[in-house]
Amino acid sequence: MSEEINEAQQERKKPGPKPGSKAAHNPVVIRKGVDVEQPRQEQVLGNFADGQFQTLSEIGFETEIDYAAQGKEKHRQDLAFNEEMIEVEVAAQSSEADDPVFPVSVNGKTFVFIRGAVQQVKRYFVEQAMRSKVRSCQSVKTRNPDSEERYEQHTSMRTRFPLQILHDPSPRAAAWRTQVMRQA
């Protein structure tokens, strides 16, 4: 009996499918990171004046456009743009309910804005602060000319942290600011 138990334990320790299972007869091939360089196929054009044929690259027309490289370059430029330091000032406290400092976090990094102080801040923290909005609702009692009373709801949105950009050296700054304010 103990020999059967030992054999069963040995079978469980072996890697791969159990004998007699369906997986033993249907192997799975997994390929990770296999890059096969394939020969470039060029489209052949007829040059009817000479009666000779030419390829697109021979006449100066490049058929391959490396969109992945263009995307990587744009991504790199966007990352560099968001890492730029810009000078901002957050409006001073307008009421006792406003905190004198407030943290803004982006991707695990935190920056603490101080109200009323001029600070050098990375652009992505400023963008997050600009996107923070507060919605307030107010019920107003009104009277119609027919002497009927009713309540109207007035809703307003404002930026949670009103800030002013004092200095932004990038030529893309104006378009960026407009885009963020429209999206927020």
What are the tens digits of pLDDT across the range 61-90?
Answer: 555 556 677 788 888 888 899 999 999 998
Question: Does 178 fall in a domain?
Answer: yes
Mean pLDDT, residues 37-59 taken together: 51
Least confident of 102-106, 114-118, 145-149: 145-149
Pairing mode, strands 133-143 and 149-159: antiparallel
- 27, amino acid identity: P
Report the domain count for the chain: 1
Distances (CA, A) of 17 to 4, 6, 9, 28: 19, 18, 14, 11
Q: By residue range, what is the domain housing residue 118?
A: 74-132+160-183
Question: Does 16 fall in a domain?
Answer: no
- pLDDT at residue 21 greater than cutoff 70: no
Show the CA angle centred on residue 82, arms to residues 162 and 116, nearest 5°. Answer: 25
Question: Does 123 fall in a domain?
Answer: yes
- 170, amino acid identity: S
d(CA 103, CA 160): 12
Question: Does 104 fall in a domain?
Answer: yes
- Kindly state the percentage of the chain with pLDDT values over 70: 63
Tokens of 24: 């033993």
pTM of structure: 0.55
